Amino acid sequence: AQKVTQAQTEISVVEKEDVTLDCVYETRDTTYYLFWYKQPPSGELVFLIRRNSFDEQNEISGRYSWNFQKSTSSFNFTITASQVVDSAVYFCALWDSGNTPLVFGKGTRLSVIA
């Protein structure tokens, strides 16, 4: 069965620190997609990134980077030089070809303190 685990429930960092949010997934499928979503205090869910199982290249977008490692079934998200605006709940999600809906982790609440 598909499963997404975000072991870190809450993280607090001081502004400008780097922080990594962990995501571990389980699937028996060889074709799957992994996602990260951001939910800021305003409440909406914002799509950040999608990565497919055949592309293990790491992705960098500004201060955000994602490390996909199939060997450890992980898709970790790093924020470099964190800012107060990064404070949010971050969700990791999995889709595989045997299952239409996404499977979400329970989320990690990140608080960045000025």
Partner 1 sequence: NAGVTQTPKFRVLKTGQSMTLLCAQDMNHEYMYWYRQDPGMGLRLIHYSVGEGTTAKGEVPDGYNVSRLKKQNFLLGLESAAPSQTSVYFCASSYSPGLAGEQETQYFGPGTRLLVL
Please report, for the chain, how many H helices and E strands are present, in that order.
0, 12
Complex with partner 1: residue 67 or 109, whichever CB lies closer: 109
Residue type, 72: T
Question: Does the protein bind partner 1 through residue 24 (CB under 8 A)?
Answer: no
Site for partner 1 in 66-95 (CB under 8 A): 91, 95
Rounded CA-CA distance 34/16 in Å is 27
Rounded CA-CA distance 32/27 in Å is 8
Question: Does the protein bind partner 1 through residue 64 (CB under 8 A)?
Answer: no
Q: Using CB atoms within 10 Å of the CB of residue 41, give its burial: 0 to 12 exposed, 13 to 18 middle, 19+ buried.
A: exposed
- Which tokens sit at 56? 């293990």
Question: Contacting partner 1 (CB under 8 A), which of 35, 68, 85, 112?
Answer: 35
- Residue range at the interface with partner 1 (CB under 8 A); choices 11-19, 21-29, 78-86, 97-105: 97-105
Longest C-alpha distance within the chain, in Å? Answer: 44
- Residue range at the interface with partner 1 (CB under 8 A); choices 12-20, 61-69, 80-88, 99-107: 99-107
Q: What residue ranges bind partner 1 (CB under 8 A)?
A: 9, 33, 35, 37, 43-47, 50, 52, 91, 95, 100-102, 104-107
